[in-house]
């Protein structure tokens, strides 16, 4: 089209621009078709925030308000983005809260033994991978429904940790402020705004990008999606379906271990066995608000990220916006249901 002769320029230009317009539309259309669920999750976050901000603009436009938010949200981000892999593969993991607790214990045990924080952190990741391998092997090779198996394992692991801990907490005040500790959970102020950025929020962002690349562009992530879409097809095409499924639980174990090690450091190096318990429903809610459907095969990492922000914002934000405390559950449920309806518009399951 670009080398049209001057004489024919006008009609050709008209056609060219029409073609360009159509291309443009289809480009945006395709972008929405492809990312509708993540966009819905983002809109849900913006909407929830806007409702709060309208109710109390002074509070919600003040950067300092978000210090606590940025401090607490990373745990949910780590867990939710990794759960995407589990749900997309067609499995369910209800055991991650116990792994969070157990991993935090392992981490603190090592720190008390004066292992440097970073080394203890790496060992803890290995522990998470190992325990994930165990859970995955039981589910996949034992051919047990992952819902039931991980529900049982969650109690089992939590119980085991409780037995070992005998109700004790572990603390290591000396390790607070060491290099590794500061690298993992230290804070810095953003341009004199009063907004304190915690390093674990930065790590959570990096983790999200890592998950995104792994999910969308790595062989492992693509195979997770294919196994969840149609495991028999995947098997017939030579994909080792069992190995992918176990891999998903290993990944979830690693994320839970990161969360466990971060949580104890957020609590100034104090561990108690049930530290992961609160995250079970929060992380699952974040996942579904984030637009990953329950049926497997497809999901969105960035959607999960926005979902994590949303479910963290609701309880604290509701209070800040002047809703009485007992509104929280109601708002929570309302947001979940409304986002589910919105996601429904982005398409039902394709068969």
Residue numbers at the binding site for another protein (CB under 8 A): 213, 217-220, 222-223, 225-226, 229-230, 232-240, 297-298, 349-351
> DSSP alpha helices (H): ranges in 237-327?
241-266, 279-289, 301-320
Dist. CA 160–CA 105, nearest whole Å: 12
Residue written as tokens 């604290």?
316
| Residue 223 or 343 with smaller CB distance to another protein | 223
Residue written as tokens 């705004």?
193
Dist. CA 91–CA 52, nearest whole Å: 35
Query: Shortest Cβ distance from residue 221 to another protein (Å)?
Result: 9
| Residue 90 or 307 with smaller CB distance to another protein | 90
| Residue 169 or 346 with smaller CB distance to another protein | 346
| Residue 71 or 220 with smaller CB distance to another protein | 220
Query: Shortest Cβ distance from residue 211 to another protein (Å)?
Result: 14
Closest listed residue to residue 109, CA positions, set 120, 96, 122: 120
Dist. CA 242–CA 292, nearest whole Å: 22
Query: Shortest Cβ distance from residue 106 to another protein (Å)?
Result: 29
Cα–Cα–Cα angle for 100, 153, 222, rounded to 5 degrees: 70
Using DSSP's 3-state secondary structure scheme, residue 298 falls into: coil
Tokens of 189: 């102020």
Query: Shortest Cβ distance from residue 244 to another protein (Å)?
Result: 11
| Residue 82 or 231 with smaller CB distance to another protein | 231
| Residue 304 or 331 with smaller CB distance to another protein | 304
| Phi, then psi, of 189 in degrees rounded to 5 | -90, 140
Tokens of 316: 């604290």
Query: Shortest Cβ distance from residue 217 to another protein (Å)?
Result: 5
Query: Shortest Cβ distance from residue 346 to another protein (Å)?
Result: 13
């Amino acid at each position: 089209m670009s080398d049209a002769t001057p004489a024919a320029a006008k009609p050709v230009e008209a056609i060219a621009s029409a073609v360009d317009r159509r291309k443009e539309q289809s480009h945006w259309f395709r972008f929405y078709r492809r990312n509708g669920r993540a966009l819905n999750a983002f809109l849900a976050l913006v909407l929830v925030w806007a409702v709060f901000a309208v109710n109390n603009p002074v509070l919600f436009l003040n950067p300092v308000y978000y210090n606590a938010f940025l401090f607490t949200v990373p745990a949910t981000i780590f867990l939710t983005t990794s759960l995407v892999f589990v749900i997309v593969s067609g499995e369910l993991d209800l055991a991650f809260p116990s792994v969070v607790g157990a991993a935090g214990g392992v981490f603190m045990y090592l720190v008390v033994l004066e292992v440097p924080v970073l080394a203890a952190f790496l060992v803890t990741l290995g522990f998470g991978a190992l325990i994930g391998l165990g859970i995955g092997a039981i589910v996949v090779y034992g051919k047990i429904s992952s819902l039931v198996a991980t529900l049982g394992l969650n109690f089992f692991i939590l119980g085991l940790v409780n037995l070992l801990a005998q109700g004790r907490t572990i603390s290591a005040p000396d390790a607070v402020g060491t290099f590794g500790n500061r690298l993992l959970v230290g804070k810095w102020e953003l341009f004199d705004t009063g907004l304190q950025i915690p390093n674990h929020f930065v790590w959570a962002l990096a983790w999200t990008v890592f998950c995104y690349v792994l999910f969308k562009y790595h062989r492992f992530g693509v195979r997770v999606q294919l196994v969840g879409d149609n495991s028999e097809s995947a098997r017939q095409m030579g994909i080792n379906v069992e190995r992918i499924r176990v891999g998903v639980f290993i990944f979830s174990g690693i994320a839970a271990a990161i969360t466990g090690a971060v949580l104890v450091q957020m609590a100034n190096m104090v561990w108690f066995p049930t530290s992961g318990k609160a995250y079970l429903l929060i992380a699952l809610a974040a996942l579904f608000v984030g637009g990953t459907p329950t049926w497997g095969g497809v999901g969105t990492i960035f959607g999960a990220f926005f979902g994590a922000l949303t479910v963290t914002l609701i309880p604290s934000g509701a209070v800040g916006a002047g809703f009485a405390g007992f509104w929280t559950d109601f708002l929570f449920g309302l947001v979940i249901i409304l986002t589910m309806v919105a996601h429904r518009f982005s398409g039902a399951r394709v068969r």
